Amino acid sequence: MIDDDSRFQGTVEVRERHRFDAAALCTYLEERLSDFQGPITLRQFKGGQSNPTYLLDTPSQRYVLRRKPPGKLLPKAHMVEREFRVMSALKTTAVPVPQTYWCCEDPEVIGTAFFLMEFLEGRIFWSSDLPQLDRTDRRTYFNAMNDTISALHSVDYTRVGLSGYGREGSYISRQLNVWTRQYRASETELISEMERLIEWLPIALPDNDETSIVHGDFRLDNLVFHPSDCKILGVLDWELSTLGHPLVDFAYHCLPYRLPKSIFNGMRGRDLESLGLPSEHEYIGRYCENTGRDGIEHFDYYVIFSLFRLAAIAQGIRGRLRDGTAASAQAAQMASYVRPLAAEACNLIDAS
């Protein structure tokens, strides 16, 4: 969830601390991919808070290279190998993903593990209200997002070879432990709202469990749309994907409905009908219809948990800023949202 800002779009020269030996990479890929031939030209995508991502140009084709950042990393973070695995598995499903070509876990090649995938020529939108589109088209794009996350949660993960991609059951309680640890590992100051959430969330945990593939960061700007219509060509950024609770994944996806414009350009309080956008109630209804549900109990809890997790992710970026390992030039903006996100979650507790 990133603000609509041209600073996040397109590419720049590779940042100094993210540079590597392009000639060595070219030689490595030519030896392993029959259709790959250099020379190569590298640019770095502006967006992305976690794993540095590069546009790789060759005389015959464009690719995307995604790698772990250099430097000290949090445990189990920046798992590009998992991104490669899940995208490769989903290629045979109704979930649109880029073609994957190669994964290298050897840090000797370019300094960290990386993978190579297809470059999708399309549009990425950064603002939830889709100001670039005509009012009459916006609902169709929202429907495409809804249908895609519904398709993901309907995938038979055993059939596509992902039965061991994560643990089945107890997803929320395990995630609470994970994100509390991650938050503590990058903590820079005492935030009372985060302390309250760390205490409240385990106590209020609903007795409701199910398992599907979850993306973990399913949001508008992680989707590549067709250049001229509402078709989604690919879902990007699978770093946080695992086997988990689909309703948590969906609640996170719905956070723009619950956030004010001052936080990630949220839509709370805006006249959605005049914008041509579905209400949260309508959006949830379509998801339920797509996935065969009568409704969603405990939705506010899933939203509160999602706000906590997003705050912990932002704190991780804040910690990487402190340590000098943040991947994006706009990381400071993301890091500034830790306390406001936690406050929004606490407000929702008070209102429920």
Q: Could you tell me if 32 and 102 are in contact, meaning their C-beta atoms sit under 8 angstroms apart?
A: yes
Q: Where are the domains of the chain?
A: 6-118, 135-351
At residue 49, the pLDDT reads 53
Strand extents, DSSP E, the chain: 11-12, 41-45, 53-57, 62-67, 100-104, 114-118, 212-214, 223-225, 232-235, 242-244
Domain 6-118 falls under CATH 3.40.50.2300: no
At residue 74, the pLDDT reads 55
At residue 311, the pLDDT reads 96
The CATH classification of domain 135-351, taken from the options 3.40.1400.10, 3.40.50.2000, 3.30.450.20, 3.90.1200.10? 3.90.1200.10
Per-residue confidence in pLDDT tens, the chain, 352 aa:
334 445 557 889 999 989 999 999 999 999 999 999 999 999 999 865 578 999 999 999 999 999 998 876 555 556 799 999 999 999 999 999 999 999 999 999 999 999 999 999 999 999 999 999 999 999 999 999 999 999 999 999 999 999 999 999 999 999 999 999 999 998 888 999 999 999 999 999 999 899 999 999 999 999 999 999 999 999 999 999 999 999 999 999 999 999 999 998 899 999 999 999 999 999 999 999 999 999 999 999 999 999 999 999 999 888 777 767 665 556 777 778 999 999 999 999 999 8
∠ at Cα 314 (312, 317), nearest 5°?
Answer: 115
At residue 77, the pLDDT reads 58
At residue 4, the pLDDT reads 45
At residue 47, the pLDDT reads 67
89-218-78-210 Cα dihedral, nearest 10 degrees: -70
Q: How far is 133 from 141, CA to CA, in rounded Å?
A: 9
SS3 content of the chain, % helix, strand, coil (to 5): 40, 10, 45
- Residue 203, classified by CB atoms within 10 Å of its CB into exposed (0-12), middle (13-18) or buried (19+), is exposed
